[in-house]
Structure 1
Amino acid sequence: MVKSLLMAVNKTLTNDDFGKLLLRLAVGGLMLFHGMHKAIDGVGGIAGMLAAKGLPGFIAYGVLVGEVLAPILIILGILTRPSALVLAFTMVVAWLMVGTGKTFALDAVGAWAIESLVYFFVGALAVAFLGAGRYSVVSDPVWK
């Protein structure tokens, strides 16, 4: 009885393509909020952090690629794997810029201080390995 119920639940919920869509919407959609904040308010704060580390401030505009363009492409299922790798790289850079000192720390509510960076990094890697799936705005698998 329990086994047949579990088999029925497993059969009903088996839809890899829909799971890929949900993952793309979560990773791309949530990151897009971070990117839109920078697109609206500017990248001056990031440029200042880069300058403090001896790097040219214009590199800050790369965050718009990693946090706006890449998430939009991930959500739409266009160039999904390369876009996910760009997002993952962006999270590594963010960790190097602001997270290295927090790697072994907890925040005020007891969560891992860099958990959002890790979530987006691992989520982007999962999207890169899984691809877009069937639900994409493009039909040619080369562009997915």
Structure 2
Amino acid sequence: MVKSLLIAVNKTLTHEDFGKLLLRLAVGGLMLFHGLHKLIGGVDGISGMLVAKGLPGFIAYGVLIGEVVAPVLIVLGILTRPAALVLAFTMIVAWLMVGTGKTFALDAVGAWAIESLVYFFIGALAVAFLGAGRYALAKDPAWK
């Protein structure tokens, strides 16, 4: 009885392409909020952090590629794997810029202080390995 119920549940929920779409929407869609904030408010804060570390401030505009362009491509399912790798790289840079001192810390509510960075990094890697799936704007596999 239990085994047949489990088999029925597993059969009902076997929709890998829909799961890939949900993952793309979660990772790309939620990161897009971070990017839109920087697109509207500017990248001056990031530029200042870069200059303080001895790097050129114009590099800050790269965050718009990692947090706006790449997430849009991920959500749409266009160049999904390369865009996901760009997003993962962006999370490494974000960790190096603001997260290294928080790596072994908890925030005020007891969560891992860098959990959102890790979520987006691992989520982006999962998207890169899984690909866009069937529900993507790009139909040619080369562009998925």
Under TM normalisation by the shorter chain, which class is it? Answer: over 0.9
What are the Cα deviations for residues 58-113 of structure 1, in whole angstroms up to 9, with x where unaligned?
A: 00000000000000000000000000000000000000000000000000000000
Distance 1:37 1:110 in 2: 26
Distance 1:125 1:137 in 2: 20
User: What are the equivalent positions in structure 2 for 1:92-107 lying under 5 Å apart?
Assistant: 92-107=92-107
Partner of 1:26: 26
Distance 1:139 1:111 in 2: 40
Distance 1:51 1:138 in 2: 39
Distance 2:23 2:130 in 1: 10
TM normalised by structure 2 equals: 1.00
Q: The residue matched to 1:39 in structure 2 has which SS?
A: helix
Counting matched residue pairs gives 144
Distance 2:16 2:39 in 1: 33
Q: The residue matched to 1:110 in structure 2 has which SS?
A: coil
User: 1:120 Cα deviation (Å)?
Assistant: 0.1
Partner of 2:135: 135
Q: The residue matched to 1:136 in structure 2 has which SS?
A: coil
Distance 2:138 2:86 in 1: 20
User: 1:138 Cα deviation (Å)?
Assistant: 1.3
Partner of 2:36: 36
**Residue 45 of structure 2 is aligned to residue 45 of structure 1:** yes
What are the Cα deviations for residues 41-62 of structure 1, in whole angstroms up to 9, with x where unaligned?
A: 0000000000000000000000
User: What are the equivalent positions in structure 2 for 1:62-81 lying under 5 Å apart?
Assistant: 62-81=62-81
User: 1:18 Cα deviation (Å)?
Assistant: 0.2
Report the residue type matching 2:44 in the other structure. Answer: G
Report percent identity of matched pairs.
Answer: 85
Partner of 1:56: 56
The runs of 5 or more residues in structure 2 that have no matched partner are none
Distance 1:51 1:139 in 2: 42
The runs of 5 or more residues in structure 1 that have no matched partner are none
Q: The residue matched to 2:92 in structure 1 has which SS?
A: helix
Deviation beyond 4 Å, 4+ runs, structure 1: none
